[in-house]
Amino acid sequence: MAGHAALVAVAALCVVAAQAHGQTTFAPADVGNAVASDHSAFDQSFDWSATDAWPVNGPSPVPAMPRLAAAGPPYQLLDPHVSVSPSGFAPGPYTNAPPLSPEPSAFNPLLNEFRAPPPQMVRHQPGGGPWTWQLLPDGLMYRSYLAGVREPRFGGVWNYERDIGWIWDIALGGRAGIIRYGTTDPFHPEGWQLDIEGAGFPRLDLEDENDLVSVDFRFGVPLTYRVGRFQSKFGFYHLSSHLGDEFLETHPDLTRINYSRDVLVLGVGWFFTPSLRGYAEAGYAFHSDVGLEWEFQFGFDYSPAYPTGPRGAPFFAVNAHLREEVDFGGEFVAQVGWQWRGAGAGHLFRIGAQYFNGMSEQYEFITDSESKIGMGIWYDF
């Protein structure tokens, strides 16, 4: 007992001494890993260039001693490469390691145990670990463009158009992984992945009993790749457009067009920071009806990459989509608002304002120009 008490006393003295010098330290592994940190002293940005670790909205990672598992007994030693921030911990390189509590009082050296923090305190790192084959993996290598109005997701925007009035543009769909050869990290996976995507994009006339004006349908199979900051995709998608029956009844003189496209698409993206992505994409329609062959789109997304917790975080995105069928005009879209990103696979919920200007996103009206502003909600798997 005397020897054990002496070790505890030495650990406590080490923590006090480190606090006096403005440092974060850990007690020896045989009595646990007590954390003493001053949250305000480390409230600073993360510099990716200084480390291979993923930014954690806090200071650069601090090496840690081996620690004990947060889950109940029997306790076992985990990977010693642990990153620390004032608001939580970033296990690495293995993101499935349970986090420690950021509160020093959560450690009991006599019981050798820690309390785990809430899920929003967990920070993630990219990559790491061996590449393996996985069926129906969690997470995506190449996520949908935030301001892309024809990207598969769940969402709806209540728009006011200067010539039409109030309309409701909706997206009902999503994207999911089928098979992966890569890492098992669902939040920032690396490797190759085959996805499946699909969505319907109906438009309702809010000023005429919510009649269905038109609806576009999209189905695709992209092959995606990601390593570090770079990502790419190559795939196929089919898109077709249709007028609503109710709209045809109230507009009997309107002639429907049979718009459809079968497209091969190549896209690339680059993360300037973990939260800021730039991208560009080209599509070639090897079969089309009404539409012509080429289309291009590019833009950037600012979306905090870490789990936000209940407070959320701001986001901003812009997208330009150019189409040969309208002499390489198209549409420009800007979005700004607030987002909430979950832990695990990083599912994303957003609410915000959207500005749209250009040729109609409903391809039954490809020759019509629209200028819209509205409020929307969006959810990405």
Task: Output the tens digit of pLDDT for each of the chain's 381 residues.
Answer: 444 444 444 444 444 444 444 444 333 333 333 333 333 333 333 344 433 334 444 444 444 444 444 444 333 333 333 333 333 333 333 344 444 434 333 444 444 444 444 444 344 445 568 999 999 999 999 999 999 999 999 999 999 999 999 999 999 999 999 999 999 998 889 999 999 999 999 999 999 889 999 999 999 999 999 999 999 999 999 999 999 988 988 888 888 899 999 999 999 999 999 999 999 999 999 999 988 999 999 999 999 998 999 999 999 999 999 999 999 999 999 999 999 999 888 899 999 999 999 999 999 999 999 999 999 999 998
Task: Tell me how many helices (H) and strands (E) the chain has.
Answer: 2, 15
Residues whose CB is less than 8 angstroms from the CB of residue 189 and which lie 6 or more positions away in sequence, other chains included: 137, 139, 140, 141, 180, 182, 183, 226
State the Cα–Cα distance between residues 222 and 176, nearest whole angstrom: 10
Which residues share a beta bridge with 224?
A: 193, 233
Q: How many alpha carbons fall within 13 Å on the CB side of residue 345? A: 15
Fold for the domain defined by 140-380: Outer membrane phospholipase (ompla); Chain C (2.40.230)
Give the separation between CA 266 and CA 286, rounded to whole angstroms. 14
Listing DSSP states for 164-189 in one string gives TEEEEEEEEEEEEEEEEEE---SSS-
User: What pLDDT score does 345 carry?
Assistant: 83
Q: Which two tokens stand for residue 171?
A: 């997206």
37 burial class (0-12, 13-18, 19+ CB within 10 angstroms)? buried
Tokens of 200: 């319907």
- Which pLDDT does position 76 carry in this prediction? 37
* Residue ranges, CATH 2.40.230.10, the chain: 140-380
Q: What's residue 115's pLDDT?
A: 44
DSSP letter, residue 312 = -
Task: Judge contact between 72 and 83, C-beta under 8 A.
Answer: no
**Prior bond to 74 cis, omega within 30?**
yes
pLDDT at residue 241, as a whole number: 95
Q: Are 27 and 11 in contact (CB under 8 A)?
A: yes
| Token pair of 332 as six digits | 């420009």
Spatial distance between the Cα atoms of 279 and 298, rounded to a whole number of angstroms: 6
